[in-house]
Amino acid sequence: MGLAPLRIWAVSDGRAGNAGPALGLAEAVARLQPAEITVRTLGWKGKIGRLPWFLNPFPLQALKPGSGIIPPWPDIWIAAGRATLPLSIRMRRWSKGRCLVVQIQDPRMPTSPFDLVVAPKHDRTSGDNVLSITGSPHRVTSERLDSELARFAARLAPLPHPRLAVLIGGKSKAHDLSPQRAAALARDIEVAILNSGGSIMATFSRRTPPESQRILTARLGHLPGIIWDGEGENPYFAYLAAADAILVTEDSANMATEAAATGKPVHVAGMDGESRKFRTFHDELEQLGITRSFDGTLYDWSYPPLLETERAASEVLRLHQGRTSLKG
């Protein structure tokens, strides 16, 4: 008889920057061993979710109804984001040590409550139970890209080459996209497309300032291509699949890492603001031959796709199998 499928929970507050990495890592583990994945999206009552983890001593009572954090507990708990910490740090105790607890991103606290912390190298998290990876776990696979490309083929197939996927972020703690910067970026994209004879496939983050999104949409609207307005099905993965090159703004490690998984040229556009942490991240991608700064020209180069999600999944499964064998 075969082994029963692993039960994996992918836990986050639902924000894309947390939900995507948690689910991406869960799916990667499931590609190595059959698993049933359940997505759990947390909601906290009142303002409790804004408090530090140590000021939430009774987290199960503080959850909003529908969060689904009730036993039986999973075999593997994969959580991302600060909102999950009050639960993650207690999961080993609640499950009597039967649940492998994996925390994605730097928890900014001692790592001892977790079995594994999967943290970006640029966070400089350290510990015996820390796996440092380039960027973040994600959901990009060749199979997903092929599937999404087929779904959007009727819209994307007529676009002229080279096709540039334009992934625009927005305001964060370290960066911003001012109207002036948006106008300059639009000019550089326009020059690149007109000189290459290609087309664009553009999409915006929920963090993109409305005025900057309006400027980019207005100034790029005359170019061959598609600018997704947020309505209908999200073509994000299809854009990655159909692109000959990818342009990402420097504010998102997730977008850059997902683009790096394609093996396609990744151009990085500067924004307002500065971050030493993100500079370290982008320097690493440049040293790996994955990215180049965007200067209004589309260059062509190649590199081995970045497969850090698979490396993290292998470590998660190794730890789980080691724990199972000890108990056996």
Contacts for 40 with CB less than 8 Å, ≥ 6 apart:
9, 10, 11, 12, 67, 68, 69
Beta strands 272-273; 266-269: pairing state: unpaired
Q: What is the number of alpha carbons within 13 Å of residue 23 lying toward its C-beta?
A: 16
**DSSP states along 276-323:** HHHHHHHHHHHHTT-EEE--S-------PPP-HHHHHHHHHHHHHHHH
Per-residue pLDDT tens for 206-215? 899 999 999 9
Rounded mean pLDDT, 93-114: 96
Same fold yes or no, 6-134+308-327 and 142-293? yes
Q: What 8-state DSSP symbol labels residue 306?
A: P
Q: Which amino acid is at 297?
A: T
- Mean pLDDT value of segment 197-225: 97
Domain boundaries, the chain: 6-134+308-327, 142-293
- In one-letter notation, the amino acid at residue 184 is A
- Dihedral pair phi/psi, residue 276, rounded to 5°: -65, -40
* Beta carbons of 81 and 16 less than 8 angstroms apart: no
d(CA 229, CA 326): 52
CA distances from 239 to 47, 278, 322, 327 (A): 38, 24, 39, 46
Q: Please, are residues 200 and 247 in contact by the beta-carbon 8 Å criterion?
A: no
Rg over alpha carbons for the chain, rounded to the nearest Å, is 21
pLDDT, tens digit, 9 for 90 and up, residues 43-100: 999 988 888 888 899 999 999 999 999 999 999 999 999 999 999 999 999 999 999 9
- Are the CB atoms for 218 and 152 separated by under 8 Å? no
Would you say residue 328 has pLDDT above 60?
no
CATH number of this structure's domain 6-134+308-327? 3.40.50.2000
Which DSSP string do the residues of 110-126 spell out, in sequence order? Answer: -STT-SEEEEEGGGT--
Report residue 1's pLDDT band, with 50, 70 and 90 as the boundaries. Answer: very low
What's the CATH fold of domain 142-293? Rossmann fold (3.40.50)
